Structure 1
Amino acid sequence: MSLFNKVLASVGIGAAKVDTKLFNSQVIVGDQITGIVEIRGGNVEQEIADIYVSLITTYIRESDDKKYTKQGVIGQYRISEKFTISPNEVKEFPLSITVPIDTPISGGKTKIWIETGLDIKNSVDPSDKDYIDILPSKLMQEVLNAVQDLGFRLREVECEAAPSRLRAGLPFIQEFEFVAISGPFRGKLDELEIVFLQQQVNTLDIMMQIDRRARGIGSFLAERLSMDETNLRLTVTTGDLPNLNNKLFEIIQRYS
């Protein structure tokens, strides 16, 4: 019977199970996620080589004019040494991980989750998936608020594959796409895209794409050649916050 149970456990039937219980499923980038990882033994004794926790999202990659959805690992953490779990035994391990500062924020098509897995030799590895809500830092939120104060509506949020010169350690960047529905830029811009780049405590580097609405003779050619787009980088600091709306207005106005 024991041998039969071991065979079943090797294919995941009656094997140990993992369940992550988060204390906070909503967290600001740079802050900590905490909780408990519970391991419940199955029908047979099993040796667990690792408990690993991964912070994961998805992003879009284009190839041959087709779009593919890929998983991107933002961070991976080992939270235990090798141990043995007896039948029906319950073990708990504390979980505390810092959300990397370049983690995309939740919204639009961007979903983020924690995946907890057990590494069990010669067996199907059990796993558990818990969605979390990642909130922007203060500087990021202030930028998003200022753009909306200027009459823009957030139309789409999506992570896309990007060359290394435009990103940090991750294979993608997160784009915030806005459309002007009121205010001084309505009718002037097709869209405004913002990407948050490097971030520190008091500074935030931003890439902005201003997509002007082409007009008059040659507008069709301008659209086809992307001559109506301006890409620029700027830095926002905590010192800019009292005058942030005006700073962004002047930059967008200059290239509209």
Structure 2
Amino acid sequence: MFKKLLASVGIGSAKVDTFVLSEHLVPGGECNLKVVIKASDSVEQDINGLELALCTSAKSEKDLGDSEIKVNETVILSRWAMTPNELGLTGSVLAPGETIEYDLTITLHPDTPVTSVTNSLSKVWIATGLDIDKGLDSSDKDYLDIQPTQFQKHAVDAMYELGYKISKVDVEKGYLRGNGFQSEVNCYQEFEFRRQAGLFSSSEAELSFVSLNNSVGLLVEKDRFLGGDAYYSEVLPNNASYSLIKAKLEHWL
């Protein structure tokens, strides 16, 4: 079975390793994990519980004097807590040399950013620890590979057929609002496209998606060189056909 080390952290004298057992991951899909906690050979360890957090990095603007700068902030999409009893510990104590393994299945947030797509700058990882909020440094993490949903694949393929190519995919801090929908988490992903319109001109468009149970909120921002940007949005079924999505995009663009 596919097995990849996600994170390894030290808690006192104990070591905690988190492995992902699922090979293909998509937003809103299940992810099988294995947590392995190992005490040192000589010292017992009190374990008060364990917490996992699904994280991404989002761009935001910060004031710096009279100017604004772009910074990356960690956003927690979902979190899961495990008590000592759930981990199989007696009296919250891990004996010297003892190793315990805990299997769990988590459901990825439906708006988890896609990472396995052309020119994606998006990052998604799972943080492991006792105090997640104080230890979200992603520098030593192995990142998750998140594939696009079928709806997103249709939208990207339709944009290519309409002459656009992906120039960048990243995550922005903030909430996304459209006609009849709003995102739940404080970040959203933008798929930026560019089309060469002529020898000296080009057009740009950005696509964003918000999961809504059995439907998807699709928002398109079209850059217009004269008159500012234009915004179009609509709620479409999760299982919307390629032809329907393409027709909608073609009408807007």
TM-score (norm 1): 0.77
CA drift of 1:164 comes to: 6.5
Does the Cα contact within 8 Å between 1:37 and 1:92 map onto a contact in 2? yes
Alignment of 1:94-133 (within 5 A): 94-106=103-115, 107=117, 108-118=120-130, 129-133=141-145
CA distance in 2, matches of 1:81, 1:160: 36
Q: In the aligned structure 2, how far is the partner of 1:158 from the partner of 1:13?
A: 33
Question: 1:200 maps to which residue?
Answer: 213
Indicate the residue corresponding to 1:26 in structure 2. Answer: 24
Gaps of 5+ in 1: 1-11, 215-226
1:66 aligns with 2:65: no
Higher helix fraction: Structure 1 or Structure 2?
A: 1
1:8 aligns to what? Answer: none
| Partner SS, residue 26 of structure 1 | coil
The alpha-carbon deviation at position 118 of structure 1 amounts to 3.9
The percentage of aligned residue pairs carrying the same residue is 28
**Counterpart amino acid of residue 187 in structure 2:** F
Task: Confirm or deny: 8 A CA contact 2:191 2:208 kept in the other structure.
Answer: yes
Partners of 2:50 and 2:130 within 8 A in 1: yes
Deviation at 1:236, TM superposition (A): 2.9
Bigger CA radius of gyration: 1
Q: Is the deviation greater in 238-247 or in 13-22?
A: 238-247
Stretches of structure 2 lacking an aligned partner (at least 5 in a row):
1-9, 86-91
Question: 1:60–1:46: structure 2 CA closer, same or farther, 3 Å change rule?
Answer: same
Q: Quick one: distance in 1 between partners of 2:174 and 2:240?
A: 30
Post-superposition Cα deviations, 1:14-71, rounded to whole Å, max 9, x if no partner, equal 7100011211153011111102100010131111111111101101110221111110
Could you tell me which of 54, 77, 87 is aligned with 2:80?
77
**How far 1:140 sits from its partner (Å)?**
1.6
Aligned 8 A contact 1:25 1:132 in 2: no
Find the partner of 2:184 among 148, 169, 184: 169
| 1:20–1:130 CA contact under 8 A, matched in 2 | no
Q: Is the alpha carbon distance of 1:246 and 1:85 closer, same or farther for their aligned partners in structure 2, counting shifts above 3 Å?
A: same
User: CA RMSD for the aligned pairs?
Assistant: 2.6
Please state how far the C-alpha of 1:230 moved relative to its aligned partner. Answer: 0.4
SS in structure 2 opposite 1:142? helix
d(CA) in 1 for partners of 2:247, 2:12? 62
User: How many residues of Structure 1 are paired with residues of Structure 2 in the alignment?
Assistant: 220
Provide the TM-score with structure 2 as the length reference. 0.77
Structure 1 residue identity aligned to 2:49? D
Shift in Å, 1:98: 0.2
Q: In the aligned structure 2, how far is the partner of 1:66 from the partner of 1:194?
A: 24
Q: What is the rounded CA distance, in whole Å, between the counterparts of 1:13 and 1:23 in structure 2?
A: 23
- How much does 1:145 deviate? 1.2
Q: 1:165 to 1:209 in 2, by over 3 A?
A: closer
The answer (yes or no) to whether the contact 1:205–1:234 under 8 Å persists in 2 is: yes
